[in-house]
Chains A and B, each alone.
Chain A
Amino acid sequence: MTNNRRVLIVDDEEGFLLLIREALEIRGFEVVTASSAVEAGMEMASKKPDAILMDIRMPGINGIQACEAIKKNPATKDIPIMIVSALSGEADIKRAYRTGVVDYFVKPINIEKVVIKLRDVLGIV
């Protein structure tokens, strides 16, 4: 059963996108995917996601730069962003939080923990 909430996942690893898309869809979310920050920008304009899961290391604009751009734009600044990255250094995590993200998950992630946080920030009971 769908919960009418749309999540944008931004990651350049196709296998990860497919897996997390399926796992979130099974749990009732509508999922939009993008494999780069530029593609994410286009999807945001047309699909208006309720939350974003963002990787950091991507070709071109990285996830941190993408988060900064989203938070600067009045139209998108209130969309909650969670980082999902293999980077686990304290500096990376602090840098991400300074952009205003709501949580940081180090890969490999456990989908249940991500879903709990998504439901929490989106107010899904």
Chain B
Amino acid sequence: MITKSDPATIKSYLEDSSNLCGGHADKVIIPENAAELSSILAECTAKKTPVTISGGGTTTTGSRIPFGGIVISTEKFNRIINVDKRALSCVVEAGVTVDDLQSACGKEGLFYTTHPTERNAFLGGTIATNASGSRSYRYGSTRRAVKRLKMVFATGEILELRRGERTLTGRELSFVLPGGRRIKADLPGYNMPDVKNAAGYFVKDDMDLIDLFIGQEGTLSVITEAELGVEPKPSEIRSCFAFFMDEESSWAFAGDLKKKKDWKVLSVEYFSENALRLLRADNPNVPAAARGAIFFEEEGERGQRYSAADRWLELIETRGGSVDDTWVAMNEKEAERFTSFRYAIPEAVNEIVKQSGFRKFSTDIAVPGDNFPEMMRFYKNTFREDGMRNVLFGHIGENHVHANALPASKPELERAESICLKFVKKGVLLGGTVSAEHGIGKIKHAYLKTMYGDNGISGMVRVKKVFDPGCILGLDNIFPKELLH
């Protein structure tokens, strides 16, 4: 076990990819195994010392930023224990990065399907937030890959839980932990929206118990090890950037793609007019007249490349796109230039934020497919009426587009906050979620309340108190810590 307390040494543990400031902790403890972690947590519960779990620090919601107490880092849980080609599964510790797992799988001709933008994320963190990414369009979020979890509770108990092993009756949580402690509680009564969702605890009638711990944002337990499903590596992934002369045509094209059930589409991503304008600065070959673009990836067999391109172009032309304004990559190597092009958007947005000196406000809302065009028009009209600088881009395949408000003055900063709250309320009204992939963390409590109301939040608090009776774990993640008293 390593302990660090020098302020300069622990500084990097007090921040993440959110803009949340003011993180502080007495020390950082780095355990090397579950037994060490168990005794640290038991002691913290006895002394009521708050504990914040630190993964790779890639979250955008402040969930790993501590405000008092200690930090426990999972960085020494960094072993890939096993990659089993026959069982299509792997066993990893929580501190392994997505990139490392992907490389290990690649050597075996396998492929880990969860594809978050941030490749340095720790797998433990991706499970704790039910992370997803562009390819969750085809493969689902992290939840779908999780077959087994090993975790440590705040009281020190260690539990291994395999999918299918414990199923709830209705919403009644009732089981005995290995140490003999009985866990008994009713899960919250809310109904989760039927969309990609990472907001609050996963609860459903007759659910598998393992699902409660996926997306709990470090508030119920510390995940130390997981068995994850993997897939045979596709022989080829091809990709395409299709540009359109108006934004609604690009939305319609995304809808057309989603109807092509016999195409093995992995991801469908959207770039608004403003996003393209940002990209044009460094990429003059972005068609000058383009007002919207769709990027998509398709899995395919070798030898079918040209027929695939023909299929794509035919569909693109039905929505007014043209061969001249379409970029095609027929293998992963060619697609690398697309990758840097796609990632240039968040970088450009961050640059604007840096220059303006004001933070950005970004939504993570997904709504049911039928209501998606209404949500998109609401984004566009609200921004147009206000006149605020904005950028829309993201996972249109899952009706999940990030709306970024980029204030350039103090009054705009205040308006940006209320604009985002307006978006959240609209998304909830349309049957959607306030967070499809980032989670709630410390910065979206009000959004979650809009979605599940006071009753839903108090139901989550009830569940947390059962697993973490001393209320020490992940304080202020998902809901305000004041509700625990």
**Which residues of A are at the interface with B, using a C-beta cutoff of 8 A?**
15-16, 19-20, 22-23, 26, 86, 88, 106-112
Contacts and interface: CB of A to CB of B under 8 A. Distances in A.
A106 B370 CA distance: 22
A23 B370 CA distance: 13
Contact of B453 (A16, A26, A107, A110): A107
Interface stretch (B10-18, B222-230, B283-291, B427-435): B427-435
B432 to A, nearest CB: 9
Given A16-B425, A19-B429, A20-B429, A108 B374 contact: no
Given A88-B453, A110-B431, A112-B431, A26 B426 contact: no
Given A26-B374, A111-B431, A112-B431, A19 B425 contact: yes
Given A15-B422, A26-B374, A86 B429 contact: no
B426 A19 contact: yes
B377 to A, nearest CB: 9
Given A15-B422, A19-B425, A108 B450 contact: yes
A68 B476 CA distance: 43
Q: Give the size category of B's interface with A.
A: 20 to 34
Nearest to B456: A108
Interface in B398-426: 421-422, 425-426
B451 interface: yes
Nearest to A13: B425
Chain A at the B interface: SS class? helix
Contacts of A20: 429
B453 A109 contact: no
Contacts of B428: 108, 110
A44 B153 CA distance: 58
Interface in B221-277: none
Interface in B426-485: 426, 428-431, 450-455
Nearest to B424: A108
Nearest to A22: B378
A110 B450 CA distance: 12
Contacts of A16: 425
A111 B453 contact: no
Contacts of A26: 374
14 contacts: A15-B421, A19-B426, A19-B429, A20-B429, A23-B429, A26-B374, A86-B453, A86-B454, A88-B455, A107-B453, A108-B425, A111-B430, A112-B371, A112-B431
Contact of A109 (B370, B429, B452): B429
Contacts of B193: 110
Nearest to B189: A88
A19 B451 CA distance: 15
Contact of A106 (B368, B421, B429, B453): B453
Contact of A108 (B371, B421, B422, B451): B451
B478 to A, nearest CB: 17
Given A15-B425, A88-B453, A112-B430, 10 more contacts: A15-B421, A19-B422, A19-B429, A108-B425, A108-B451, A110-B193, A110-B428, A110-B431, A111-B371, A111-B431
Contacts of A108: 425, 428-429, 450-453
A111 to B, nearest CB: 5
A114 to B, nearest CB: 9
Contacts of B455: 88
A88 B190 CA distance: 12
A44 B428 CA distance: 29
A22 B431 CA distance: 15
